[in-house]
Homo-oligomer: A and B are copies of this chain.
Amino acid sequence: MRAPENSILLVYSGGLDSTVLLYQLLEQKYEVRAISFFYGQKHEKELTIAQKNCQNLGVPHETLNIPLHEYFASTLLQGGGEIPEGHYEAENMKQTVVPMRNLIFASIAAGYAASHGIKKIALAVHAGDHAIYPDCRPEFFTALNQTLALADWNEVQTETPFLHFTKEEIVRIGLALGVPFATTWTCYKGGEKPCGKCGSCTERAEAFQKNGADDPLEKM
């Protein structure tokens, strides 16, 4: 299968970071296609949001069903216990690690891309994740790209433009691009409204504060 040269496949969670990246890729005139993963995350709500956002933007989107929660242990997954509260820096946030998650997502995305003749996959990993998630670090992506170059006759490479950015910088980019932040989901818990207490909610709130901006999601 062939795709236009400027095609890119976005691994899209429906969260703040990947929504900002989606808007940035469209602004950069990429032909964007998006996939989301249902992997047993408690915050399934993000999948509905991902689908809706893509539909509104006319971006082809598919949700892939990879039921990791049936086989892996993590508090982030259904059946995996309580999600810890507080800052990401805290040691207990490591309980939310889903082992090899980005490697698994990037591998499947790369296979999906190769299958559709797309040569680039975009992931919205950022610097704020490095301390907790080993597969968000720059050295991981360097090694992964070397592996991907050898894994298939159709070479696929990752694009991670936010790799060295903080959440604050991503919110700033999103504000400049006019991203409707009310349509992005961040909370790790599965409630109707964001809990405001998990590491993910805490980090988001701080990023808006530092930009002197209001988070429209809080008013929903």
Contact = CB atoms under 8 A, between A and B. Distances in A.
Chain A interface size range: 35 or more
Interface of A is mostly: helix
Given A62-B71, A71-B112, A112-B72, A153 B94 contact: yes
Interface string A69-92: 011111000000000000000000
A163 interface: no
A1 interface: yes
Nearest 5 CB-CB pairings of A with B: A100-B111, A99-B114, A143-B147, A140-B150, A99-B111
Interface stretch (A131-139, A170-178, A201-209): A131-139
Contact of A151 (B1, B66, B70, B102): B102
Interface of A: 1, 35, 62, 64-68, 70-74, 94, 97-104, 107-108, 110-112, 114-115, 134-135, 137, 139-140, 143-144, 146-154, 156
Contact of A100 (B71, B72, B74, B151): B151
Contact of A72 (B67, B115, B149): B115
Contacts of A110: 99-100, 103
28 contacts: A35-B71, A65-B67, A68-B111, A71-B112, A72-B111, A72-B112, A74-B115, A94-B153, A97-B153, A99-B115, A99-B154, A100-B108, A100-B111, A100-B151, A101-B111, A103-B107, A103-B110, A103-B111, A104-B107, A135-B150, A135-B151, A140-B147, A140-B151, A143-B143, A143-B146, A143-B149, A144-B147, A147-B147
